[in-house]
Chain A
Amino acid sequence: MIMSNTAENKNEKKIRLKVYRENRGQDSGSHYDTFEVPYKKWTTVLDALLYVKSYMDPSVAIRYSCRMASCGSCGMKINGIPKLACYTKISELETSTIECEPLPNFPIIRDLVTDFSRFFDHHKSMHPYIEAKESSVDDTRKGTFSFYQSPEDVDKYLQFSYCIKCGLCYSACPTVGTDVNFPGPQALAQQYRYFADTRDESAKRLDIVDDRHGIWRCHFAGSCSKVCPKGVDPALGIQLLKSYMLGISKNDKVPAKKIEVESIDNRYNSSAKTE
């Protein structure tokens, strides 16, 4: 079934949008609906889908938020490759039909919306936070000390901290496709991100991923890095973590020095007095 909005200008360029439809709640099977959508050279796939929702079929389910590749909500398979819909221009795809499908390796909730529970469970299992022995979260909230890191220290992990958890890497990974217990590129790259951070002192990080379904199941297909919309390069982080686990790279991380600073309360009080 092809649906089009006939009220549009006939000279406008149109793209055929083939959208995957399935509703897990109704369990009525899956099919594709096709829509003809007008577009301009800056129109993104997300814009086109929102046009469909506004003027053709409001029942199409999509998840989105920021529209600027920052929130990682609108990941979907576009013409067979996991991409962010807000980050993919129709004109760049150079096809007359665009096929939008839910991200593979994520359970489908409805249409293009997938369930990220498993993905986030894997992320949480990596302890994605700084674990320092002599400082708790409360201490940092008080603001009585700060960690010193050189720009070189920051460069070791900064790239991996740009992850927006969009799930594209998880979706592209061939190992995830055959083993749901494999943490996936996102989680493993985050493990490297905290392992390489000089503020982190956890001794358990390598043990967490040293598992039958863990890091050793990565065979460096590189697809995760290929699809990452933020340049995180998860494959790099995973291989570097492996080299530490194999003892080839020596963990010569020097813990970041803690520098005592005036507490936020004191700073506020002293500035109030001077005024």
Chain B
Amino acid sequence: MTEIERSSRNNLEGIGGWLNPSRYGWERISYWFQRLTGVFLLIYFIGHVYETSTIVNGQNAWESFLELTQTGWGHLFLIMVIGASTFHSANGIRLIFTHVGIGLGTPGRPDYPYSPASLNYRQKSGIWIALILAAAAMFYGFNVLFGV
């Protein structure tokens, strides 16, 4: 493909364009959530590897680090992890299906008012299921961690 020179006057939306996902409907919101949860989970996994590696410094070091997650803020953070991982997984499965052409509909002759086949009810249902599953998992996590 043609390599195109980057220019400072490209008028690119950049990452700023991701910050207002509501302009383009649920599919764009799900795209934004998928990115956001992906970055959040990456940060969590780096922290998690660091946390588990403290065991090489002895049991005291391990337990003192573990205490961080036993606070109210620690619990809230873990609830966020539960929600992010559930949404990212469920929505990721939907996206795997779309990338192999499943659940998108077939090309046809478009009639006005145009309704894109790829943005169909199956995709919207998939996004809603991912959101509901994430909310349910967070609710369950809240009950377990805060013992309500």
Tell me whether A221 and B28 are in contact (CB under 8 A): yes
Chain B binding surface, main DSSP class: loop
Tell me whether A236 and B10 are in contact (CB under 8 A): no
Tell me whether A242 and B112 are in contact (CB under 8 A): no
- Partner of A232 from the list B27, B101, B110 (CB cut-off 8 Å) is B110
Q: A228 and B27 in contact (CB under 8 A), knowing A178-B15, A220-B98, A243-B99?
A: no
* Residues in B neighbouring A35, C-beta threshold 8 A: none
Tell me whether A222 and B27 are in contact (CB under 8 A): yes
Tell me whether A239 and B98 are in contact (CB under 8 A): yes
Other 5 A-B pairs with CB < 8 A, given A103-B11, A226-B25, A236-B116: A80-B20, A105-B10, A159-B108, A222-B25, A249-B100
B54 in contact (CB, < 8 A)? no
Interface hub of A183, A208, A243 (most chain B Cβ within 10 A): A243
* Residues in B neighbouring A243, C-beta threshold 8 A: 99-102
A5 in contact (CB, < 8 A)? no
* Residues in B neighbouring A102, C-beta threshold 8 A: 11
Mind listing 11 A-B residue pairs with CB under 8 Å? Answer: A81-B23, A81-B24, A102-B11, A107-B7, A162-B110, A181-B2, A219-B95, A220-B31, A220-B99, A222-B118, A223-B28
B104 in contact (CB, < 8 A)? yes
* Residues in B neighbouring A223, C-beta threshold 8 A: 24-25, 27-28, 31
Q: Which residue of A lies closest to B16 (CB)?
A: A177
A111 in contact (CB, < 8 A)? no
Tell me whether B114 and A230 are in contact (CB under 8 A): yes
Tell me whether B101 and A242 are in contact (CB under 8 A): yes
Tell me whether A177 and B12 are in contact (CB under 8 A): yes
- Partner of A177 from the list B13, B99, B108 (CB cut-off 8 Å) is B13
A194 in contact (CB, < 8 A)? no
* Residues in A neighbouring B104, C-beta threshold 8 A: 236, 239-240
Q: A235 and B118 in contact (CB under 8 A), knowing A155-B107, A220-B98?
A: yes
Tell me whether A105 and B4 are in contact (CB under 8 A): no
Within the complex, the shortest CB–CB distance from A238 to chain B, in Å, comes to 9
A125 in contact (CB, < 8 A)? yes
Within the complex, the shortest CB–CB distance from A3 to chain B, in Å, comes to 25
Total A residues in contact with B, Cβ cutoff 8 Å: 61
Tell me whether A180 and B27 are in contact (CB under 8 A): no
Tell me whether B24 and A227 are in contact (CB under 8 A): yes
* Residues in A neighbouring B3, C-beta threshold 8 A: 181
* Residues in A neighbouring B34, C-beta threshold 8 A: 219
B147 in contact (CB, < 8 A)? no
Q: Could you tell me which A residues sit within 8 Å of B by CB distance?
A: 24, 80-81, 102-108, 114, 118, 121-122, 124-125, 155-160, 162, 172, 174, 176-178, 180-181, 183, 196, 208-209, 211, 213-214, 219-223, 225-233, 235-237, 239-240, 242-243, 246, 248-249
* Residues in B neighbouring A237, C-beta threshold 8 A: 107
B58 in contact (CB, < 8 A)? no
How far apart sit A176 and B10, CA to CA, in the bound complex (Å)?
11
- Partner of A230 from the list B6, B27, B110 (CB cut-off 8 Å) is B110
Tell me whether B24 and A221 are in contact (CB under 8 A): yes
Q: Which residue of A lies closest to B8 (CB)?
A: A107
Tell me whether B107 and A159 are in contact (CB under 8 A): yes
Within the complex, the shortest CB–CB distance from B126 to chain A, in Å, comes to 11
Q: A157 and B107 in contact (CB under 8 A), knowing A108-B9, A220-B98?
A: yes
The 3 A-B pairs of least Cβ separation, nearest first, read: A231-B114, A231-B110, A222-B27
Q: A221 and B118 in contact (CB under 8 A), knowing A177-B17, A243-B100?
A: no
How far apart sit A226 and B28, CA to CA, in the bound complex (Å)?
10
Q: A158 and B109 in contact (CB under 8 A), knowing A104-B12, A174-B18?
A: yes
Q: Which residue of A lies closest to B103 (CB)?
A: A239
